[in-house]
Amino acid sequence: MSERNCVVAVDVGNSAVKLCVRRGEEKKVGDALGDKSVAAELAQLSVPICENAWHLRATRWVRDQVRCEHSHWLIASVHQPAAQTLQHAIDAMSVDSDMQMTVASVSRRDVPMNVRVDQPDRLGVDRLLSAYGARNQFGSPVTVVDAGSAVTIDWVNDEGDFCGGAILPGLRMQANALAYGTDALPEIDWKVGGSQSENPATVAGTNTVDAIRLGLITAVTAAIDRLSVAYANSGAGSKAQSKLVLTGGDAATISPFVQQPHEVVPNLVCRGLLDLPRS
């Protein structure tokens, strides 16, 4: 595969579209644990779906910034209207330019991972791909946390099987619920640090904004700490030590307040896509 040939992994979420592009020779993202050169090979972009013409920004980035002449797009989506919008933009660009583009929609059935849940067909492909990517990079057992619009805390057992997990509202969803469900509580801007934002897990908030931040971050991180320990204890007979991996748009925000040892890996869904076997 030449440097102008690319595989474009796309994670279409509820609030943003994330892209990772692997250029040149094929190499599984999970092949080299801790190999920072692997991450360096990936061009990465996140585009909010609320942004005007986000689909054009995504496709033009692949064409103009990454400079792929021949690209194969792997799209995993939990937001079908957005995925269709992106598909139309890819089709239009392939017609209007000299780029050669192929597109494949990835479903749960494309992920080579055993699933132990009650209704496998209802499992979100994003959760499965995150688990698959984490297992490939860190081995199993592993707890995988995706902190985005919702927070998922999933378990991969020592046999490498996806065993389900927990789902709770993300930071912004919880904050919006407080703001819209009450008369006096304000909306929270997570981009602006409050006086307690450096250590909200141990110091009581002395104003409304800091108190809300403290409550929300503690709720999410306490769930992560508790469940990761419970999952690990459920596999007490395992010879391997359980790992904890965080990903998602809010991973960097919550990481300082998670007490259990963990790794932060951006764009884990995309990395799982890039690890899929090529047919």
List residues forming the annotated binding site. Answer: 11-18, 124-127, 146, 149, 208
Backbone angles phi, psi at 127, to 5 degrees: -65, -40
List residues forming the annotated binding site for K(+). Answer: 146
List residues forming the annotated binding site for substrate. Answer: 124-127, 208
- 91 catalytic? Reply is no
Which residue in 126, 154, 210, 275 is the catalytic one? 126
List residues forming the annotated binding site for ATP. Answer: 11-18, 149
Active site residues: 126
